[in-house]
Amino acid sequence: MMKLFATALLTLLLSFPAYAKVEVYDLDVKGAHASIQFKIKHLGYSWLFGRFNKLEGWMSGDQADPSTSKVEVSIDTSSIDSNHAERDKHLRSADFLDVKKYPKATFVSTKVVDNGDKTGTIYGNLTLHGVTKQIQIETKFVGQGEDPWGGYRAGFEGTTTLKLADFGITYNLGPASTFVEMMLFVEGIRR
Amino acid sequence: MPIRLKNNYTHFGLISIILHWLVAISVFSLFIVGVWMVDLGYYDEGYHQAPFIHKSVGMLLFGVLLLRLIWQIANPKPAPLSDKSIEVILGNITHLTLSALVFAVCISGYLIVTAADAGISVFNLFEIPAMITNLEGQEDLAGIWHWYLALTLMLLTALHTTAALKHHLIDKNDTLTRMLGGRGRGTKN
């Protein structure tokens, strides 16, 4: 009886090929093959780079129809690292990220548009510093395939520019430093 | 009377006196500058200069504290001037706690700056290397400790000062004057 039920369920699932093809990938944060970097102008004379060391998330999609793809990423804001302890301490304070009050920043996609040539635009809601705003991430597919250890991986890169004041971060860093460029390099392992 | 450098059992020598007031002035200035500098904006003139001086003086103070500790061990301790044993005990506890706190404030400050493996430049003359780095949340935890230890130190300093004034003005003994190098009024010698 159980076997019959299982066979029926399997047949049912297979009769919806679109459903069966949706693949879910978890970001490879354990192997640190997913990172979120940022750069911001310093006084207008050069770029300061930093990154968030702790994040987690997943992405899902159907290769036949990329527009059904979804992404969710959660960032531990206290993991900000600009290679300068006093600056990081300042960035975590109420002057900037206020990580005690807002320990997480999250991105949840709402729409994915395939722009062709392995590029796309991900629209979604970014919650940062307690403010949720729609942003768009310009995305490029990097590659996919089997890894040498029995898994299957796919990777993307994405960029977006955030106006700090949009998220209530108004500390005066000077007129050249009101925007921050975010760069995402994420590799997912198929579930 | 020649200048006495070392302590004896009734008086502080010149070196102990200088070390005491050097620490006192440094601690007080560091606290004032510290409280002021953390609220400076990015475009304020002292944004880089004030922390630079605070850190330099802090590291020099640590050296002075070590010298003072060695000097205290190597010298006799002048006897307390109070004959109330409760005052003597409280005084001893306060002095020990004050000494431990100044060390702790210096060390916690050092741990903030060196958390990402950067040394501390002392007035661009030499550099104290980073030794303990990259602990989980190091700069944030050290920052919290630095602030509350400094605050406790200032409160205890207020108690220490009040007690010294009490001995001077009410008990009329030489507690304060002998730390200023005075010859004393001859009481309790």
In chain B, residues with a C-beta closer than 8 Å to the C-beta of A172 are 41-43
How far apart, in whole angstroms, are the C-alpha atoms of residue B35 and residue B92?
A: 29
Q: Just give the CATH number of A2-190.
A: 2.40.128.110
Q: Hey, is the C-beta of A173 within 8 angstroms of any chain B C-beta?
A: yes
pLDDT for B185: 54
Percentage of chain A beyond pLDDT 90 is 84
3-class state of residue B152 by DSSP:
helix
Q: What is the pLDDT of residue A57?
A: 96
Provide φ and ψ at A158, rounded to 5°.
-150, 155
Relative to beta strand A119-128, strand A131-146 is: antiparallel
| Sign of the dihedral through C-alpha B123, B125, B128, B129 | positive
How far is residue B28's CA from residue B41's CA, in Å, rounded to a whole number?
23
Look at residue B188 in the predicted model and tell me its pLDDT.
44
Residue B131 falls in which region: left (phi positive, over 0), alpha (psi -120 to 50) or beta: alpha
How sure is the predictor about B72, in pLDDT bands with cuts at 50, 70 and 90? very high
pLDDT at B55 over 90: yes
Closest to A142 in 3D by CA, of A158, A127, A130: A158
Give chain B's mean pLDDT: 93
Give the number of beta-carbon pairs within 8 Å between A and B: 32
**Nearest by Cα to A76 from A40, A33, A29:** A29
> Which of A52-66, B18-32, B48-62 has the weakest average pLDDT?
A52-66
Q: What is the pTM of this model?
A: 0.83
Helix (H, G, I), strand (E, B) or coil at B127: strand
User: What residues contact residue B79 under an 8 Å CB cut-off, 6+ apart?
Assistant: B9, B10
Tell me how far apart the alpha carbons of residues A25 and A73 are, in angstroms, rounded to a whole number.
Answer: 12
Confidence of residue A9 (pLDDT cuts 50, 70, 90): low
Statement: residue A79 has pLDDT above 50: yes
Contacts of A171 in chain B (CB under 8 A): 41-42
A175 near B CB under 8 A: no
Chain B residues touching residue A92 (CB < 8 angstroms):
140
% of chain A surpassing 70 pLDDT: 90
